[in-house]
Amino acid sequence: MTEASLEWLQQEGEGTFFDFIGGRITAVKDGEVFGEIQIEKHHLNHMAISHGGVYATMLDHMMGYAAYYARPHARVVTTNLSIHYVAPIRSGLMKVSGRIVHSTRNLITTEGRICDAEGNLLAMATASYRAKAKEQ
């Protein structure tokens, strides 16, 4: 992975919902995409834990970026997302990763994980993405 590849993915996320909530892509290594978000008060639900939508957004973006990184000339859209919420996070750094586990010509299957700064598992997920050639 080159700095240019990381910069390209970071630019792709500018102005998106991922960017709006404070998500950041931090690295791409061996096709796996890594990111993070600093959990703030506005990320919390009424029980003072991170809203499930923050988990879902971060997982969908990291797994989606892994698919997009593998198919940069395609439109990649989520067709299925399944999340297992394991533990809550109230503050601190949420670290997220996504990687491809299988792909065909049109479908990419991924898996993702969320951990806290100490490496404790917070959630795990799988997702499928459809890859369609971009129209010229």
Per CATH, the number for 3-133 is 3.10.129.10
Asked if residue 46 has pLDDT above 60, the reply is yes
Give me the sheet containing 32-39, strands edge to edge.
24-29, 32-39, 92-103, 107-116, 121-133, 74-85
Neighbouring CB atoms inside 10 A of 78's CB total: 15
Residue 132 has which token pair? Answer: 């369609």
**Residue 2, pLDDT score:** 59
The percent of residues in the chain predicted with pLDDT above 90, rounded, is 76
Looking at residues 37-52, what average pLDDT do you find?
A: 96
The string over 95-104, giving b where at least 16 C-beta atoms fall within 10 Å of a residue's C-beta and e elsewhere, is bbbbbbeeee
Q: What is the mean pLDDT of the chain?
A: 92
Residue 14: predicted pLDDT = 86
| The model scores a pTM over 0.75 | yes
Distance (Å) of CA 16 to CA 20, 47, 57: 6, 27, 11
Banded pLDDT at 1 (limits 50, 70, 90): very low
Reported as a single tens digit per residue, the pLDDT across 59-105 is: 999 999 999 989 988 899 999 999 999 999 999 999 999 999 999 99
Q: Measuring CA to CA, how many Å separate 78 from each of 71, 94, 99, 108?
A: 14, 22, 14, 9
The structure tokens listed for 111 are 């898996």
